Amino acid sequence: DAGVIQSPRHEVTEMGQEVTLRCKPISGHNSLFWYRQTMMRGLELLIYFNNNVPIDDSGMPEDRFSAKMPNASFSTLKIQPSEPRDSAVYFCASSPRGNEKLFFGSGTQLSVL
């Protein structure tokens, strides 16, 4: 298995632009998590899905952030409009069951200028 696949690896954009981050979880995993990592706040849980349904999005910082999981093999995290303070590494992780070991993707390094 290729593991959790995230794209793009790096994204540089200008303030105000829309950013879409993509994630393909490991086949057969039914839970998917989006995290954001920054020096100041460490690793923050943004949202997680179970069986494609959003369970808890209380970590999503603002309405500018949205996440979808249209099917078991794909999820997106969208920021519109983006701001410089959104600059961070965004990780996607999946799990065979939500409370077990997480398998992380390589992350997307987002820079908003």
Partner 1 sequence: AQSVSQHNHHVILSEAASLELGCNYSYGGTVNLFWYVQYPGQHLQLLLKYFSGDPLVKGIKGFEAEFIKSKFSFNLRKPSVQWSDTAEYFCAVNGGSYSSASKIIFGSGTRLSIRP
CB 12, CB 111: distance < 8 Å: yes
Query: How far is the C-alpha of 77 from the C-alpha of 68, rounded, in Å?
Result: 7
- Judged by CB under 8 A, which of 7, 50, 66, 87 binds partner 1? 50
Q: Which is nearer to partner 1, 81 or 109 (CB)?
A: 109
Local structure of residue 41 (DSSP, 8 states) = T
Minimum distance, C-beta of residue 92 to partner 1, in the bound complex (Å): 10
Distances (CA, A) of 105 to 17, 22, 35, 53, 62: 24, 11, 11, 20, 24
Distances (CA, A) of 8 to 24, 98, 106: 12, 25, 10
Sites for partner 1 among residues 23-42 (CB under 8 A): 30-31, 33, 35, 41-42
Sites for partner 1 among residues 75-104 (CB under 8 A): 91, 93, 95, 97-102, 104
- Judged by CB under 8 A, which of 65, 82, 86, 107 binds partner 1? 107
- Judged by CB under 8 A, which of 21, 34, 49, 86 binds partner 1? 49
Q: Which spans of this chain sit near partner 1 (rule: CB under 8 A)?
A: 30-31, 33, 35, 41-45, 48-50, 55-56, 91, 93, 95, 97-102, 104-107
